[in-house]
Amino acid sequence: MFEIEITIGALAEEPLCQIFSEVGIDSCAIYAHSEKLTEDEIWEAKNLMPPDGLCRVVGYTKEEDTERLVAQIEEKIAAFADFGFELGAYTIDVREIMDIDWAQEHKKYYAVTELDNIVICPLWDKETLTEEQKRKHVILLEPGAAFGTGLHETTRMCMRLLSKTVKAGHSVFDVGSGSGILSILASKLAASHVYAGDSDSLAVAAARKNSVLNEVTNITFFEGDFYRFSNNSRLWQMSI
């Protein structure tokens, strides 16, 4: 993976992005003083922000022939003068950067976790479970964008509460179900039915997928907020 960084006049920000696209660089980042930084970005502003009046446009490519790309970029920058629009002086820096497979990299941060009589297991670690762990309430998860991996203290607190209070025959409403981890646990604790709602369609899809991994079939998933269903509270004995 290569990073092509161009520091140029601030007015060239959009034309340069177009040039990147034309030479086959579809991924780029822009740093300019016209942008309002978020609080999370402020800490790195000193290193990323160019001097006043300039912008920094950074493109990312797997193309190894970066000399050819740079030549094409320089040619297209010069061509703007034919239309009476000088982009001005600029500098180009090319760096090779580490190419990380993030789909695999995030797996380093998830491992089998035990909480009392509950075992939370990432799907890829399923074969590593011991016989003792298999005798507990095992929840298989494919951690993704949805909240609820069993690592956060609020999730763990709710899991302990469920373990102590859910009885066979109870129905449960999981408000903001995220990954579905609490709904799946309630099902494994012998709840008669679980209603699991989330306002995020991606979370609902992730929860459905995790329920299939755990072979639980008594969960009704829906997209929406609590207030739409609050009039049906007679359907469940517990809300989480």
**100-139 pLDDT tens trace:** 666 676 677 688 989 999 999 999 999 999 999 999 999 9
Residue among 219, 218, 215 nearest 196 (CA): 219
Strand blocks (E) in 155-192? 171-175
- How many Å is the maximal CA-CA distance in the chain? 77
Ranges for all domains in the chain classified under CATH 3.40.50.150: 105-239
Q: Is the pLDDT of residue 75 over 70?
A: yes
Q: How confident is the model at residue 44 (pLDDT cuts 50, 70, 90)?
A: very low
CATH number for the domain running over 105-239: 3.40.50.150
DSSP 216: -
CATH 3.30.70.120 domain extents, the chain? 2-99
**Does position 34 have pLDDT exceeding 60, yes or no?**
no
For residues 3 and 95, is the Cβ–Cβ distance under 8 A? yes
Question: Residue 38 gets which letter from DSSP?
Answer: P
What is the fold of 2-99? Alpha-Beta Plaits (3.30.70)
pLDDT at 42: 40
Query: For residues 150 and 203, which has the higher predicted lDDT (pLDDT)?
Result: 203
pLDDT at residue 36 greater than cutoff 50: no
Q: Which residue has the higher pLDDT, 225 or 35?
A: 225
27, 29, 31, 93: which is closest to 60 by C-alpha?
Answer: 27
pLDDT of residue 46: 43
pLDDT at 68 (0 to 100): 93
Indicate whether this model's pTM tops 0.85: no
